[in-house]
């Protein structure tokens, strides 16, 4: 007569070991994706090559002080993009930057957030939402682009603005949250006024 199989307990990693692994991954990430990619001692072409070697698809080079966290494979940068100093991109989810965009000094592009339950407790696990920045977008210094934002082509985002949703083409957006304050040439008043930030 066969004896019943006893289930083997699966070890659950302790919070300490999980956080230690996270810290080691962040340190490795910092050396490659921040210290090297943002180095003022490396020419732009070398920074672009390093970014591609890390797994990104980059046709343009990051600027001095550039910082990338998350998975480099989630980052796509088209040709003609200009990054000013100290741009920070968090690529937990895909980030796509279109051709001839200009990213101002200390712009922050985020893709992750922590869900909050009905009791007000936030989840320990980050979830990602993609960010899309289309062609010919100019983002002013210290603007913040939040998870799920989609900035259509030919848009200007004012310095310090916080983008939380979709910005429709041919407009200037400012404020917290960013609101359309002016049309640019080529705007279609029938459709472009429906923009939400």
Alpha-carbon distances, residue 59 vs 9, 79, 86, 128 (angstroms): 49, 5, 19, 24
Of 113, 114, 150, 170, catalytic: 114
> Residue 51 class from Cβ within 10 Å (0-12 exposed, 13-18 middle, 19+ buried)?
buried
**Cα 112 from Cα 131, distance rounded (Å):** 10
Query: Whose CA is closest to 62, among 114, 112, 97, 22?
Result: 97
Is beta strand 171-174 parallel, antiparallel or unpaired with respect to 57-58?
A: unpaired
**Cα 32 from Cα 99, distance rounded (Å):** 25
Is beta strand 171-174 parallel, antiparallel or unpaired with respect to 155-157?
A: parallel
Is-catalytic flag, 114? yes
Which residues does the annotation mark as catalytic? 114
């Amino acid at each position: 007569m066969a004896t019943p199989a006893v289930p083997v307990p699966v070890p659950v990693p302790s919070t300490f070991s999980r956080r230690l692994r996270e810290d080691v991954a962040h340190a490795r990430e910092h050396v490659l994706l921040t210290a090297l990619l943002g180095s003022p001692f490396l020419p732009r072409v070398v920074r672009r090559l390093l970014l591609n070697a890390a797994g990104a698809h980059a046709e343009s080079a990051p600027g001095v002080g550039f910082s990338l966290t998350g998975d480099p494979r989630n980052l796509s940068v088209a040709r003609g993009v200009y990054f000013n100093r100290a741009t920070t991109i968090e690529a937990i989810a895909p980030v796509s930057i279109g051709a001839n965009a200009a990213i101002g000094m200390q712009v922050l592009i985020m893709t992750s957030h922590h869900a909050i339950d009905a009791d007000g407790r936030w989840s320990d696990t980050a979830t990602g939402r993609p960010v899309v920045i289309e062609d010919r977008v100019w983002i002013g210094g210290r603007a913040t682009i939040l998870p799920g934002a989609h900035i259509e082509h030919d848009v200007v985002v004012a310095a310090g603005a916080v983008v939380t949703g979709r910005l429709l083409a041919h407009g200037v957006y400012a404020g917290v949250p960013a609101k359309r304050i002016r049309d640019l040439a080529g705007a279609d008043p029938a459709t472009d006024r429906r923009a939400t930030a």
